[in-house]
Amino acid sequence: MKIAYLALNDPLDKKSWSGTTYYIAKALQKAGNEVEFLGPLKLPRWLDKLLRAMAKFNRIVFRKEYITKYSLVLSWYSSKHFARRLKRKKFDCICAPAASAELGFLKTDLPVIYITDTTFELVSNYEYREFDKMSWFSKIEGHLLERHALKKSSAVMYPSEWAAESAIKDYQIPIDKVCIAPFGANIDLVPDASIIYEKLRNKQLTLLFLAVDWERKGGNIAFEVLKYLIQTHGIQAKLIVCGCEPPRNIAHPNMEVIPFLDKNIKEEYEKFIEIMTTSHFLLVPTRADCSLLVGCEANAYGMPAITTDTGGVSEIIKDGINGYCLPYSAGGNIYAALIAELFLNEERYKQLIYSSRERFEEYLNWNKWSDSFREIYKKNVLKLPSVKPVLN
């Protein structure tokens, strides 16, 4: 297929959508498709100043946050840019990852496959930080863009039923347009399966908190877990914090903080692999998540994830298979008790390593995702019979 890849930001930037925009493109290319990137879009100075002014006005006058990525003006401007790009070549379809704003006002006869991990209805009602403070105008714009994007799509791909059911219920999208395909692990090289048991050589229970946002990903709870393991369970555990920095008042001799690792630098990439290979559990007691992307990465290394039952996370992390999802209300003591129980039972923990890697190989990889994309294209665009159910 010749695919027009619709993304406002640089699709080759691994920081965009935690790297998902990049790895979706790579998966499509690896499957033999010709992918042309229509972005990134550089905003003109007048539009950038207008969006900043609107955000500042809402913050000062209404004490609310105006979320510029849901702006109708931004959507209108981007639609003009992308429409011009689409006229230059013939394409079979448009692939639009997390692109409700880009699709909102876009006029095209091409079939659109819209890929996202949530709906605006779900994310705008998530009781967390910027969503709580979102202005009423941002909510109106966000719902309008989401509705337009869903309506003009031939198919919508979600990684979870949690998100898919919202599209059907909240936006009245026909069930035959809604498809489920879990995302893969955002890593360049899949580690060989032979290394998954290397972590057993590490006799110190090592927890990995891999996140860019300490508060939203539950860093305070992760820190509590470390203290409970040491003080209550008598296990001299270690907590590695990678990707962010805790508040200054949070420190412990058994906690190592690595604010950032650049995978493009050989030494830092090797450090990342070492951490992933030797850590026993990914610990992310997240407070707000649509799907735990980092859990797929951990599972590739045979590392089970201990996380929270929120959003679509429990559809990625299955209890007793590739980790556990604890109730949102669970405190550090509950997490610590589970981790201690699993780690001290060597046979049970070894089985969890094996089944975590197995789940990655069977479901949580980009090859499987691209297979699903092909089936969805056949069914929803070419109108051919599908060999797979897309929504159970």
- CATH number, domain containing residue 127: 3.40.50.2000
Which structural domain, as residue segments, surrounds residue 112? Answer: 2-184+365-380
232 & 264 share domain:
yes
Q: What is the pLDDT of residue 133?
A: 85
Q: What is the pLDDT of residue 12?
A: 86
Pair 223, 358 in one domain:
yes
List, for the chain, all residue ranges whose pLDDT scores fall below the cut of 70: 127-130, 386-392
Model pLDDT, residue 131: 72
Alpha-carbon distance of 243 to 214, in angstroms, equals 9
Is the Cβ–Cβ distance between 258 and 225 less than 8 Å?
Answer: no
DSSP 329: T
End-to-end CA distance of the chain: 28
Q: Give the E-state strand segments of 189-262 in sequence order.
A: 206-210, 238-242, 255-258
222 and 348, same structural domain? Answer: yes
DSSP-assigned letter for residue 373: H
Q: Return the pLDDT at 197.
A: 97
DSSP code of residue 241: E
Residues forming beta bridges with residue 208, ordered by sequence position: 240, 282
In a domain, 391, yes or no: no
CA separation for the pair 57, 61 (Å, rounded) = 6
Q: Is 387 within the bounds of a domain?
A: no
Q: Are residues 167 and 289 in the same domain?
A: no
Say whether 236 sits in a helix, a strand or coil: coil
Examine residue 390 and state whether it is found in any structural domain, yes or no: no
Please report the pLDDT score of residue 386 as a whole number: 60
Which residues have a Cβ under 8 Å from the Cβ of 251 and sit 6 or more positions away?
Answer: none
Counted domains in the chain:
2
d(CA 81, CA 347): 57
Do 217 and 177 belong to one domain? no
Q: Is 386 among the domain residues?
A: no
Task: Clarify whether residues 270 and 139 are in a common domain.
Answer: no
Q: Are residues 54 and 166 in the same domain?
A: yes
Peptide bond into 385 cis (omega under 30): no
